[in-house]
Amino acid sequence: MEPITIRLRFKHETTLPLDQVLTTYQVALKQETSPVTGFVANNHVYLRIPAKDQHFWSPQLNLEVIETEAGSIIYGLFGPRESVWLMYIFFYTLLGFAALVIMIMGFSQMQLGLSSRILWALPVLALITFFAVMTARTGQKLGKDQMNLLHQYYRDILGKCESLKVEY
């Protein structure tokens, strides 16, 4: 089984100045033939799959461009859309809270010498959590081609840059 990567991050150093990087993306995203949509705001670039090609598991790429003495550093972050990310965070929080309440009640009843059958709900919660993790992994695999498209688009736009140092 592959290691679980929740939100893949990377770092890219370029000799291009901050303004040129942002302008390059701004111009490229306005072209009608662009396979990716998005926008530039402050020193951030947001790359997304076009609405007609999106599905529930479609990823997005957020870039933060920071100016340095030698040019710029671009920090990239792949992740799901905000709605999917929020849904999973809410679901995991709900499962964790339910497990905490069940453990408090079950172990309190056990200490008092009462029936602590409620603790049998913990394996059920663990099974639900496992199912949630597996659906997230399946979603990552379904969005892999689109993630590669976003990364290739990102690389193509800055492909003219001669000093390309990417760290994963």
Rg (CA), the chain: 22
Residues 32 and 105 in one domain: no
In three-state form (DSSP H/G/I as H, E/B as E, the rest C), the secondary structure along 7-72 is CCEEEEEECCCHHHHHHHHHHHHHCCCCCCEEEEECCEEEEECCHHHCCCCCEEEEEEEEECCCCE
When pLDDT is cut at 50, 70 and 90, the band that residue 59 belongs to is very high
Establish if 1 belongs to a structural domain: no
- Count of domains forming the chain: 2
Residue 38 belongs to domain with CATH number: 3.30.310.80
Residues 40 and 102 in one domain: no
Establish if 67 belongs to a structural domain: yes
Residue 122 clears pLDDT 90, i.e. is over it: yes
- The pLDDT value given to residue 2: 55
What pTM does this model have?
0.77
Domain interval for residue 121: 84-138
Q: Going by C-beta distance under 8 Å and a sequence separation of 6 or more, which residues neighbour residue 151? A: 61, 78
Residues 102 and 128 in one domain: yes
Residues 110 and 28 in one domain: no
Establish if 4 belongs to a structural domain: no
Residue range 96-124: mean pLDDT, rounded:
95
Q: How far is CA 140 from CA 15, 18, 46, 56, 145, in A?
A: 32, 31, 19, 11, 10
When pLDDT is cut at 50, 70 and 90, the band that residue 157 belongs to is confident
How does DSSP assign 91-128, residue by residue? HHHHHHHHHHHHHHHHHHHHHTTS--GGGGHHHHHHHH
H/E segment holding residue 78: strand 72-80
Greater model confidence, 112 or 8: 112
Residues 114 and 149 in one domain: no
Residues 63 and 38 in one domain: yes
Residues 73 and 148 in one domain: yes
